[in-house]
Amino acid sequence: MNIYFCGIGGVGIGPLAEIALDAGYTIQGSDKNKGIVTQHLESRGIGIDYDQSGAHLRAVHEQQPVDWFVYTASITDDHPELIAARSLGIRTSKRDELLKTIVEEKEMQLIGVTGTHGKTTTTAMTVWTMKQLGIPVSYSIGATMSFGPSGHFDPNSRYFVYECDEFDRNFLQFQPELSLITSIDYDHPDIYKSPDDYASAFRQFIDQSKWCILWRNDASLVGEIKNGWVLGNEDTSKISLPGQHNRNNAQLVVKAMERLGVEGDVVGAVNSFPGTNRHFEKLAPNLYSDYGHHPAEIAATLQEARELSSKVVLVYEPHQNVRQHELRSQYTDCFELADTVYWLPTYLTREDPELIVLTPAELSANITNHDSVIIANTDSKLWENIEKARHEEALVLVMGAGTIDDWVRKKLAEKN
C-alpha cells in the first residue's frame, strides 16, 4: 500500500508514518515546514515535499498511484492537497482509520489508553513496563520520550498500545482488546456540547472495548460496567512515583498487566518509569515544564510539585479561548498549592471569532488564593522573576499547551 501523509511533521502523524514504514508500507508526504520530525523521517528515506499546493501529490500519484491520503485534524476541507486527493479518487481519512487498519492487518491486540487527563503518561508507562518485562510491543504516543520514538512497530509484537484521544471523537474508531481509562472530566467544549455528551462518548468507547479498567468516580459518570474492573480504594503504597495522579495511573498499568497475565516485577518496572517530555519534565534545576491546561491537571501537578518542594511558583498559560469560557468557573481552589501564580494571556487556537477573548484578570478573578496572582507576559521581567525564584530554591513550574514551553527552552539556551 502506498500512503501519503499530509502534515507528516506533526506529533501524531509523524509517528504513524514511521509505524507504517516499519509495517512494510510505502510512505511519503508533505508539510508546511521542516522540523525535527521531518528531518528524522527523511533520514529514514521517506520523501517529504514542502509545497502543499497539490502539485506534488499529483506528480507522486501519476508516478505510483497513492492508495491512501492521511491528513491531520488541523487540515480544513479547502486544503489544496485534500482537494487534489479527492479529485484523484484517492481514499482519504484522518490518522486513526489507518492505524486501525494496520492493527487489524497485522493481527495485533489493541490496548487503548484514554481519559481527559493522564492518557499520554499512562500510555508511555504501559509501553515502558512492557519493555522492561521483555514483552515485544508496538505503540503510538502523543509525546516524545527518552526511551524510544513516539511511534514504533515491532513485527514480533502481539500488542499495540495506543493513546486514544477523545478529541474530535477519534477514539470511537477503535474496539480495543483492553482499555485503560484514566479520568473522565468534561473537556473539548468545541466538540462535545455538554458533560452528558462527553460522558456518552466514553460510554460508547467502553462498550466497544472487550475489557476495560477505570476508577469508581469515573464509572459513576457512565453507568454500570459489566466488561471490566472498577477500581476503588486501591493500595498504591508500593508505587514510589511522585504525584498521587501518577501513582493512580501506575495502578491502572499494574492492573492491566494482571489482566494480560504478565509475569515479573511489574511494580518495580513501573517505579522505574522515567516520564515523558512536557509532563512534569525537568528542564533545569528547580525548573519544570508541564502540558497541563485544565483545573484538574493544574491541581494534580501542583500536588506533585509540593512533594518535591515546600515553595512552588507557577507560570500558567491558558489554552484556547473557547475552552476558557467553559473552565472559567472552575478556576477556584486548583491553584492553592502555588505560592505565586504568574498568569499569561490565553494561547489562541481553533477559536470561535464571535467569542470575546477573556483576559487574565477575568479568568483569575475567582481563584481562592487571588492575592498570589500576578498578571504577566513572556518578557524579560517574567524571566527575571523565574530566575530569582529558582535562586531562592523555589520549584518553578511552567504550564500550558501553547508557547510557554518553547519560550522557556529558548531562554535556557540563551543563558547557556
| Position 317 in a domain | yes
| Position 101 in a domain | no
Exposed, middle or buried, 310 (CB in 10 Å: 0-12/13-18/19+)?
exposed
Question: Among residues 227, 244, 271, which one ends one of the domains?
Answer: 271
pLDDT of residue 60: 95
| Position 40 in a domain | yes
Shared domain for 118 and 266, answered yes or no, is: yes
* CA separation for the pair 372, 368 (Å, rounded): 9
Shared domain for 373 and 327, answered yes or no, is: yes
CATH number of the domain to which 42 belongs? 3.40.50.720
Find the range with the poorest average confidence among 207-221, 374-388, 402-416: 402-416
Mean pLDDT, residues 188-217 taken together: 96
Task: Specify whether the CB–CB gap between 360 and 343 falls below 8 A.
Answer: yes
Share of the chain above pLDDT 90, in %: 90
Shared domain for 181 and 297, answered yes or no, is: no
Exposed, middle or buried, 107 (CB in 10 Å: 0-12/13-18/19+)?
exposed
Shared domain for 117 and 235, answered yes or no, is: yes
* CA separation for the pair 290, 243 (Å, rounded): 13
Mean pLDDT, residues 389-414 taken together: 96
Task: Specify whether the CB–CB gap between 250 and 125 falls below 8 A.
Answer: yes
How far is C-alpha 338 from the chain's CA centre?
A: 24
| Position 301 in a domain | yes
pLDDT of residue 144: 80
| Position 319 in a domain | yes
pLDDT of residue 72: 87
Shared domain for 187 and 329, answered yes or no, is: no
Shared domain for 144 and 263, answered yes or no, is: yes
CATH number of the domain to which 170 belongs? 3.40.1190.10
* CA separation for the pair 267, 235 (Å, rounded): 12
Q: Which residues contact 48 (CB under 8 A, 6 or more apart)?
A: 8, 9, 28, 29, 30, 31, 38, 41, 42
Shared domain for 130 and 223, answered yes or no, is: yes
DSSP state of 372: G
* CA separation for the pair 98, 26 (Å, rounded): 13
Domain of 293 in residue numbering reads as 281-415
pLDDT of residue 11: 81
| Position 198 in a domain | yes
Structure confidence by residue, pLDDT tens digits, 348-392: 988 899 999 999 999 999 999 999 999 999 999 999 999 999 999
* Furthest-apart CA atoms within the chain: distance in Å: 65
Mean pLDDT, residues 405-409 taken together: 96
| Position 102 in a domain | no
Question: Among residues 94, 118, 143, which one ends one of the domains?
Answer: 94
pLDDT of residue 323: 94
How far is C-alpha 298 from the chain's CA centre?
A: 15
Shared domain for 86 and 151, answered yes or no, is: no
Single-letter amino acid code for the residue at 112: G
Task: Specify whether the CB–CB gap between 369 and 340 falls below 8 A.
Answer: no
Shared domain for 219 and 298, answered yes or no, is: no
Residue of 124, 121, 135 whose CA lies nearest to 161:
124
| Position 276 in a domain | no
Q: Which residues contact 215 (CB under 8 A, 6 or more apart)?
A: 181, 183, 230, 231, 232, 248
Task: Specify whether the CB–CB gap between 320 and 264 falls below 8 A.
Answer: no
Shared domain for 15 and 64, answered yes or no, is: yes
Task: Specify whether the CB–CB gap between 117 and 109 falls below 8 A.
Answer: no
pLDDT of residue 305: 97
pLDDT of residue 276: 86
Residue of 315, 269, 265 whose CA lies nearest to 289:
315
Would the pLDDT of 416 be above 80?
no
Shared domain for 154 and 241, answered yes or no, is: yes
Question: Among residues 71, 94, 117, which one ends one of the domains?
Answer: 94
Shared domain for 266 and 287, answered yes or no, is: no
CATH number of the domain to which 408 belongs? 3.90.190.20
* CA separation for the pair 49, 296 (Å, rounded): 41
Structure confidence by residue, pLDDT tens digits, 25-70: 999 999 999 988 899 999 999 999 999 999 999 999 999 999 999 9
For the chain, the domain total comes to: 3
